[in-house]
Structure 1
């Protein structure tokens, strides 16, 4: 179940300003979340349906997974039809190389 604070954060991350402020972004949809597993990015949370979590328990065991209903995921999602999962991911920091004189 998604808490009120988590739901507020998920909704806020739909805005560019909030993504920058929190240093987080959303990955939405079943396929995208599964691709994220092998990406090497730092995943804070995965919100998903019970079915999705059961089917992919082996791939997702390293992450903090929170079971949510389809209704909760629909409320939290910025997509029209998000039917399985949403992940909250840290924005990777890029170090700019110093220019040599």
Structure 2
């Protein structure tokens, strides 16, 4: 089951909460209901998700987008390093 963060502030807090839930400290039906309620409030509607995905694919196929992605890939996109740590700077430097 997918689960989105609600008022939990950090991944560590979420991990503690999930460990407590999975350890059986709460009734299973209550846990399922709570997860379902949070998912209903926080996860996108599937139709919107498909629409956003289609728009993304359309934009990625544009020549100017491909040019930028090639530029970033040649400088280390998707690999650990300086570009990934400061992606905004690399995007701003593109000419």
Please report the TM-score for the alignment, with normalisation by the length of structure 1.
Answer: 0.22
Higher helix share: 2
Q: Which of these two proteins has the greater Rg computed from alpha carbons? A: 2
Q: Which has the higher contact order (CA 8 A, sep 6+)?
A: 1
Higher strand share: 1
Please report the TM-score for the alignment, with normalisation by the length of structure 2.
Answer: 0.23
